[in-house]
Amino acid sequence: MATQFPGSPRLLSSCRGRAIEAIEHPKDPVDVPTETLHRAKRKVNEPTPALHLRTCFVLDEEGRIRCTREPEPTAGPIFTLIRSPSCCIWAVRADVPAEFAVELGRFAAREPLLHDSEGSPVYANAYLSLLGGPIASGPVFSFPDELTRPVGVTLVDDLHLLERHFHRWTASEISERSPIFAVLDDGYPVSVCFSARSSETAAEAGVETAPAFRGRGLAARVTTAWARAVRASGRVPLYSTSWSNGESRAVARKLNLAQFASE
């Protein structure tokens, strides 16, 4: 659950097993150094909740959310919580008063690890009582090691081509959301996959298909091409969506993506 109250004074985690050394539900999460919490033994290219968090958001020195990591950034959620079978990680937006951040951290530090992929956080009601209003949540996926090269997919770098079916793009997004892959109809993109959020180490997929062309499997093709290109650049491709987005989850199933976390 990324408790995206559309936003722990620090980026904190509570992990078990070999992923992080000796970090289990700290008594006072405020006093635990971020460096210690993230002394991981994972491979560099292995998807983790921390990688997802740092790809989605720009964090300050204290691990607070400064803004979203996208061409036209927004303030981001007040509070975000990402759980996996081995780790629970969270962050609070920079403008949240310290007393609320501390209280959120105390609850988040006691969250059980993720065992039910669609289960709600144990302390969801506590977060709501502290911060209120709406929650956005959903699965976070990684891509399989082998991705077959799709046919009929084109790299797009021209805003004019996108404007026929996708009207909200701006010129600056072409470079900042690259790579952008598309399936064309009559020379114009009708389904595109691009970098919705991007960092030096990973990128999150964003997918759009023009309404008249949905249900044809185009999204899976462009997403595969995008993931291959991101991986070729030395970064990790990630895919996340909401539980209510059935079409997006269908793409994940078609591509045999593996859920590694819930936000």
Which sequence spans correspond to the domains of the chain? 12-137, 154-262
pLDDT value at position 16?
Answer: 29
Q: Using 50, 70 and 90 to split pLDDT, how confident is the model at 133? A: confident
Q: Using 50, 70 and 90 to split pLDDT, how confident is the model at 111? A: very high
User: pLDDT for 73-82, tens place per residue?
Assistant: 999 999 999 9
> How far is Cα 180 from Cα 173, in angstroms, rounded to an integer?
10
> At a CB cut-off of 8 Å and minimum separation 6, what does 58 contact?
65, 66, 67, 68, 69, 73
Task: Please state, rounded to an integer, the average pLDDT across all residues of the chain.
Answer: 85
pLDDT at 230 over 60: yes
Q: Which of 257, 8, 254 is nearest to 131 (CA)?
A: 8
User: pLDDT for 101-110, tens place per residue?
Assistant: 999 999 999 9
- Within the chain, what is the greatest distance between any pair of CA atoms? 61
User: pLDDT for 190-211, tens place per residue?
Assistant: 999 999 999 999 999 999 999 9
Q: Mean pLDDT over residues 49-60, rounded?
A: 97
- CATH class as words, domain 154-262: alpha beta
* Contact assessment for residue 159 and residue 166, using Cβ atoms and an 8 Å cutoff: no
Q: Where are the alpha helices (DSSP H) in the chain?
A: 34-37, 49-56, 98-108, 124-131, 159-162, 171-176, 218-232, 246-254
pLDDT at 62 over 60: yes
Residue 51, sorted as left (phi over 0), alpha (psi -120 to 50) or beta, turns out to be alpha
Q: Using 50, 70 and 90 to split pLDDT, how confident is the model at 134? A: confident
* Contact assessment for residue 13 and residue 38, using Cβ atoms and an 8 Å cutoff: yes
pLDDT value at position 132?
Answer: 83
Q: What is the CA radius of gyration of the chain?
A: 19
pLDDT at 26 over 50: no
User: pTM of the prediction?
Assistant: 0.84
* Contact assessment for residue 65 and residue 245, using Cβ atoms and an 8 Å cutoff: no
> How far is Cα 175 from Cα 182, in angstroms, rounded to an integer?
15
pLDDT at 124 over 50: yes
* Contact assessment for residue 191 and residue 208, using Cβ atoms and an 8 Å cutoff: yes
pLDDT at 4 over 90: no
> How far is Cα 146 from Cα 219, in angstroms, rounded to an integer?
18
Residue 13 φ then ψ, to 5°:
-145, 155
> How far is Cα 9 from Cα 97, in angstroms, rounded to an integer?
9
Q: Mean pLDDT over residues 167-189, rounded?
A: 94
pLDDT at 10 over 70: no
Distance of CA 29 to the CA centre of its chain: 23
pLDDT value at position 2?
Answer: 45
Residues forming a β-bridge with 263? none
